């Protein structure tokens, strides 16, 4: 598969602190890549580098097989970024969508192209093209902003929290528009989102970031301190309801360390077995279930003592467990499955 981006030893620092550290990363041409992680994990910085809005402090970025030496308007025309709250121009919907085409001198079939882009984001051109920017709801405004990017037929479409603060219907329409852009224009789509359910449904692949690094090609459970000593070279994280997560003690200090747990290392059970080798047995309730796009596996998220845990299981296992949101469930995982960042 052909890569549209390749990153090698890319880092970025602010005020003497490294906020991005990507050793190796490849993004397949025509794919839809989701990027998740907590605030401050480096997601938005990575997105800005991929959008050619800033240069990395060190390392190399390759785009379409060529090393990027200088970033300029030619590259930005191939990769367009939609921010979480993209502000519209104080003019009509038609003029907002047409603005980029006019700026590039692409005025042939202007009305036809604008109408097509509006239709792609679920807005009837006859009803919306003449509306002023202030006559739109939040979801409609975000869809107009997306149409203004799609109409440019970019090689790469980068989306920063595209469904934040919008209605469910608009979020679904945006996901559909993204899929159509990939299918019809061969556009590569890169999404940063905290909306895990939406990201899993829209993406071919998910990567998880923490502390500026990519930790997995898929979601990770992030367990943060404080940790306390609990004997036998083990440390414990006490949950809000008194349950504890136990892991081998790191070196030198466990108090503020962050640990990661792969969803595949969590076993779900309707009850805690009598004989189990797993050091950790946590009980909680299912809060959501997401089918991973194109993989046939299901991500089950459980809330236990104020901490969310996500387990990856098969569709057959889901049916056998007969889970629905709200179902009580036990999580079983070994202390050795948890690793320190």
* Beta bridge partner(s), residue 12: 20
pLDDT at residue 48 in the model: 94
The pLDDT, as a whole number, for residue 259 is: 83
Q: How far is CA 316 from CA 161, 306, 312, in A?
A: 32, 28, 12
Mean pLDDT of 142-152: 94
Percent of the chain, pLDDT > 90?
52
Q: Which residues of 28-59 are buried (b: 16+ CB within 10 A; e: fewer)?
A: ebbbbbbbbbeeebbbbbbbbbbbbeebbeeb
Q: What is the mean pLDDT of residues 253-274?
A: 80
Instruction: Kindly tell me if the per-residue pLDDT of 192 is higher than 70.
Output: yes
Q: Which two tokens stand for residue 169?
A: 């219907």
Sheet holding 221-224, edge to edge: 221-224, 258-261, 339-340
Provide CATH 3.40.50.300 ranges for the chain.
Answer: 3-89+151-216
Per-residue pLDDT at 85 exceeds 80? no
pLDDT at position 197 over 90: no
Give the model's pLDDT for residue 248.
87
d(Cα 201, Cα 197) in Å, to the nearest integer? 6
pLDDT (0 to 100) of residue 200: 72
Averaged confidence pLDDT in the chain? 88
- Residue 88's CB is within 10 A of a number of other CB atoms, namely 20
pLDDT at 268: 95
pLDDT band at 283 (very low <50, low <70, confident <90, very high): very high
Q: Is residue 152 very low, low, confident or very high in pLDDT (cuts 50, 70, 90)?
A: very high
Q: β-strands 32-36, 205-210: how paired?
A: parallel
Which tokens go with 177? 């528009």
pLDDT tens digit sequence for 1-26: 789 999 999 999 988 899 999 999 99
For 315, left (φ over 0), alpha (ψ -120 to 50), or beta? alpha
CATH superfamily for domain 3-89+151-216: P-loop containing nucleotide triphosphate hydrolases (3.40.50.300)
* pLDDT at 238 > cutoff 60: yes
User: In the CATH scheme, what architecture does the domain 221-340 have?
Assistant: Beta Barrel (2.40)
Q: What is the mean pLDDT of residues 49-76?
A: 93
Distance CA 66, CA 217 (A): 25
> Taking the CB of residue 64, how many other CB atoms lie within 10 A of it?
15
Domain limits, CATH 2.40.50.100, in the chain? 221-340
Q: What is the pLDDT of residue 253?
A: 60
């Amino acid at each position: 598969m052909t890569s549209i981006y390749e990153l090698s030893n890319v880092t970025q620092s602010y005020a003497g602190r490294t906020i991005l550290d990507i050793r190796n990363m490849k993004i397949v041409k025509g794919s839809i890549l989701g990027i998740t992680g907590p605030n401050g994990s480096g997601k938005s910085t990575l997105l800005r580098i991929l959008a050619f809005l800033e240069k990395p402090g060190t390392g190399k970025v390759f785009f379409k097989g060529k090393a990027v030496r200088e970033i300029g308007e030619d590259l930005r025309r191939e990769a367009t970024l939609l921010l979480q709250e993209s502000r519209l121009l104080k003019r009509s919907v038609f003029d907002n969508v047409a603005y980029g085409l006019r700026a590039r001198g692409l005025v042939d079939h202007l009305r036809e192209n604008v109408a097509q882009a509006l239709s792609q984001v679920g807005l009837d051109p006859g009803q919306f093209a003449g509306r002023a920017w202030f006559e739109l709801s939040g979801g409609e405004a975000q869809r107009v902003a997306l149409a203004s990017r799609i109409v440019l037929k970019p090689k790469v479409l980068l989306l920063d929290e595209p469904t934040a603060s919008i209605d469910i219907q608009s979020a679904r329409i945006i996901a559909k528009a993204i899929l159509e852009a990939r299918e019809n224009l061969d556009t590569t789509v890169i999404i940063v989102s905290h909306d895990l359910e939406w990201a899993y449904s829209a993406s071919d692949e998910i990567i998880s970031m923490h502390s500026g690094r990519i930790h997995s090609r898929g979601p990770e459970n992030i367990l943060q301190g404080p940790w306390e000593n609990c004997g036998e070279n083990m440390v414990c994280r006490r949950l809000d309801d008194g349950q504890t997560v136990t892991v081998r003690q790191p070196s030198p200090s466990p108090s503020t360390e962050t640990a990661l747990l792969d969803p595949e290392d969590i076993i779900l059970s309707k009850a805690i077995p009598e004989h189990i080798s797993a050091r950790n047995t946590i009980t909680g309730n299912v809060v959501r279930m997401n089918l991973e796009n194109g993989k046939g596996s299901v991500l089950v998220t459980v809330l236990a003592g104020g901490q969310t845990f996500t387990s990856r299981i098969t569709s057959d296992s889901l049916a056998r467990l007969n889970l629905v949101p709200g179902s009580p469930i036990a999580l079983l995982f070994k202390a050795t499955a948890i690793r320190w960042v």
